[in-house]
């Protein structure tokens, strides 16, 4: 009985999960592109209104909040590295020995701080007369940043799902690692979108 020889030119097809995630993120790019277009269109029609209301933005606070979200992207990636080496939990007290769970918990905390910061900023702006219904600037500001906040909240829920799945699994394996990687793709995406929003809303003004 002969066996077929192994070849080095085997075709490696991408997983359906990775392909589905990429397609979905592509649709999300189109969604946020539409929000950016709306923001620029309204700003072009009301330059004086934009000049007046953007003065009420707390740029230093927004910068700190942005850095917190960017830091969470790095911690999420460290969690992915741990998942890729099949290390769900810490093997020691040092962060160098943390597993996916510890890094994802830290990412969750940083993301939650970011959302809390946005809520505080909303409350401050509303007290200064900038609300969703106040004018076109208020509408565009809250719609663009609000939809992003919802996406971040979705990412926080996804972190909890992956963490819970790692505890529920009898053995941390390929499926659990893939779930962690997919969530990291999404988290990096919302981070990049926020950087774009920060530059447009707070820097360019």
pLDDT in tens, 130-139: 999 989 999 9
Q: What is the pLDDT of residue 93?
A: 87
Q: What is the pLDDT of residue 53?
A: 92
Tens of pLDDT, residue by residue over 100-138, are 999 999 999 999 999 999 999 999 999 999 999 989 999
Please tell me the pTM assigned to this model: 0.87
Each residue's pLDDT, cut to its tens digit, for the chain (205 residues) gives 444 444 444 444 556 666 777 787 788 889 999 999 999 999 999 999 998 999 999 999 999 999 999 999 999 999 999 999 999 999 888 888 999 999 999 999 999 999 999 999 999 999 999 999 989 999 999 999 999 999 999 999 999 999 999 999 889 998 999 999 999 999 999 999 999 999 999 998 6
Q: What is the pLDDT of residue 10?
A: 42
Query: Could you tell me if 190 and 159 are in contact, meaning their C-beta atoms sit under 8 angstroms apart?
Result: no
**d(C-alpha 205, C-alpha 199), whole Å:** 8
Structure tokens at 38: 């709306």
Beta strands in the chain (DSSP E): none
Place of tokens 């093997």: 91
Structure tokens at 165: 């799945």
**17-204 to CATH, choices 1.10.10.10, 3.90.550.10, 1.20.120.80, 3.20.20.70:** 1.20.120.80
Q: What is the pLDDT of residue 130?
A: 93
């Amino acid at each position: 009985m002969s066996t077929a020889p192994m070849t080095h030119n085997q075709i490696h097809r991408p997983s359906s999960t990775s392909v589905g995630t990429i397609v979905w993120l592509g649709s999300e790019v189109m969604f946020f592109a539409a929000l950016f277009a709306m923001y620029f269109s309204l700003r072009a029609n009301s330059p004086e209104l934009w000049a007046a209301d953007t003065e009420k933005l707390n740029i230093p606070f927004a910068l700190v909040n942005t850095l917190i979200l960017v830091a969470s992207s790095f911690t999420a990636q460290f969690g992915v590295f741990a998942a890729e080496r099949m290390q769900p939990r810490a093997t020691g007290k040092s962060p160098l020995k943390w597993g996916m769970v510890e890094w994802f918990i830290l990412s969750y905390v940083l993301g939650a701080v970011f959302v809390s910061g946005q809520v505080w900023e909303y409350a401050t702006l509303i007290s200064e007369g900038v609300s969703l219904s106040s004018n076109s600037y208020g509408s565009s500001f809250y719609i663009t940043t609000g939809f992003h906040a919802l996406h971040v909240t979705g990412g926080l829920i996804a972190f909890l799902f992956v963490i819970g799945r790692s505890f529920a699994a009898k053995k941390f394996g390929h499926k659990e690692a893939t779930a962690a990687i997919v969530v990291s793709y999404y988290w990096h995406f919302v981070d990049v979108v926020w950087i774009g929003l920060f530059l447009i809303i707070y820097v360019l003004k």
